[in-house]
Amino acid sequence: MREYHLAVIPADGIGQETVPEAMRVLDALAAVAGTFRVTRTEFPWGSEHYLRHGAMMPPDGLRILEHEGFDAIYLGPVGDPRLPDSVTLWGLLIPIRQQFDQYVNLRPIRLLPGVRGPLADKGPADIDLVFVRENTEGEYSGAGGRVHAGQPDELAIQSAVFTRTGTERIIRYAFEYARGHGRKRVTSATKSNALQHSMVFWDECFARVAADYPDLAHDQYLIDALCARLVLRPETLDVIVASNLFGDILTDLGAAIAGSMGLAPSANLDPTRRHPSLFQPVHGSAPDIAGRGIANPIGDFWSLELMLDFLGERGAAARLMGAIERVLAAGRALTPDLGGRATTREVTDAVIAALRESA
């Protein structure tokens, strides 16, 4: 029996509703699979913590996550209308990504059977993509500053940072992932026409790494044209590697064409496994629906699937994905974002029932 120790941070808004349900699913899956056990430590970090203590997490928060033997971190969304988004994001999520060198942000996007996507004439066979987003540098490096605050000549500089190590390793991860998961093509998101330093450099790194993978097709596409291609011809895309900003934007578009923000999962990975990796849904804290019990928890469950896959529990991961797919395909429990009337809890109960049926 393998045992995993999980740090759980439900955080803000609908995270308070979806994360506990995700943990119910995880417990049910562990019981059904019988090959692993999960112990959990929950941390009440996030915007409430900020409002009470002036910080999103305690000063030794990162040390706790790093040194208390966690195999993974499961995080809900951060964001609260009472606080600036830059404070909440830079107070919890981005420090974890950077300090733990979680340089891969992995975001699969699929139109699941039973979900009606917004693109006419595109079905599940057309929308099946994996985004590999750089997660520690690029446009979100944090380099820059502001001077002459409040003066007419006030200015702000936000510098993108692209290192050879950082760029090559994310591109290499995309090719390795493609090879390891039966994918056929890697597409690079670029903008080397306008960004003649950083993105020309990115293209050179891409060409160098691609040469090591003659078994995989590769191409590069300007980011603006790639947005159009994602909507018009998603079936021509497979694995997409992108910088931090480009990947951030593309994956919301991806989540939209797959039917709902509430479905999209993500993994923040340190592939070297020196630090714990972090798993979370793509969606934010959704203040517009928080507290009503109607948030879609599927993106949270799918994020658990990514976690189990990364931990090596591939059988359990496949079983969970199968249960999610059966519930959606049967239209058994759909939340309002998918055109249904089910509550968060009813979707969870349906997925747990599907897991038990598969046992």
Residues of this chain that bind Mg ion (CB under 5 A): 248
The site partner of 248 among ligand NAI, Mg ion, none (C-beta below 5 to 8 Å per kind) is Mg ion
251: contact with ligand NAI by CB under 6 A: no
268: contact with ligand NAI by CB under 6 A: no
Q: How far is CA 99 from CA 38, 82, 92, 120, 357, in A?
A: 25, 27, 11, 42, 41
Pick the piece of the chain touching ligand NAI (CB under 6 A) from 148-156, 210-218, 237-245, 277-285. Answer: 277-285
Pick the piece of the chain touching ligand NAI (CB under 6 A) from 139-147, 161-169, 187-195, 281-289. Answer: 281-289
The site partner of 79 among Mg ion, ligand NAI, none (C-beta below 5 to 8 Å per kind) is ligand NAI
CB of 261 to Mg ion, least distance (A): 10
295: contact with ligand NAI by CB under 6 A: yes
How many whole angstroms separate alpha carbon 342 and alpha carbon 308? 27
Report 6-25 residues binding ligand NAI (CB under 6 A). Answer: 14
Return the C-alpha torsion angle 90, 22, 272, 12, nearest 10: 0
Number of residues that bind ligand NAI (CB under 6 A): 21
Pick the piece of the chain touching ligand NAI (CB under 6 A) from 71-79, 157-165, 201-209, 317-325. Answer: 71-79
With CA atoms as reference, report the closest residue to 41 among 70, 77, 12: 70
Both tokens of 240, joined, read: 């997409």
46: contact with ligand NAI by CB under 6 A: no
Q: How far is CA 57 from CA 62, 63, 346, in A?
A: 9, 11, 32
Pick the piece of the chain touching ligand NAI (CB under 6 A) from 166-174, 204-212, 228-236, 285-293. Answer: 285-293
Of 6, 23, 57, 93, the one binding ligand NAI (CB under 6 A) is 93
Helix axis angle for 314-329 and 298-311, nearest 10°, is 160
CB of 270 to Mg ion, least distance (A): 20
Of 104, 289, 352, 354, the one binding ligand NAI (CB under 6 A) is 289
Of 283, 319, 326, 332, the one binding ligand NAI (CB under 6 A) is 283
Q: Are strands 2-9 and 36-42 parallel, antiparallel or unpaired?
A: parallel
Q: How far is CA 267 from CA 33, 161, 273, 328, in A?
A: 22, 22, 13, 22
How many whole angstroms separate alpha carbon 226 and alpha carbon 219? 11
How many whole angstroms separate alpha carbon 314 and alpha carbon 306? 9
254: contact with ligand NAI by CB under 6 A: no
Nearer to Mg ion, 210 or 255 (CB): 255
How many whole angstroms separate alpha carbon 17 and alpha carbon 112? 23
How many whole angstroms separate alpha carbon 42 and alpha carbon 256? 31
> Where along the sequence are the contacts to ligand NAI (CB under 6 A)?
14, 77-79, 85, 93, 261-262, 280, 283-289, 295-296, 299, 335, 337
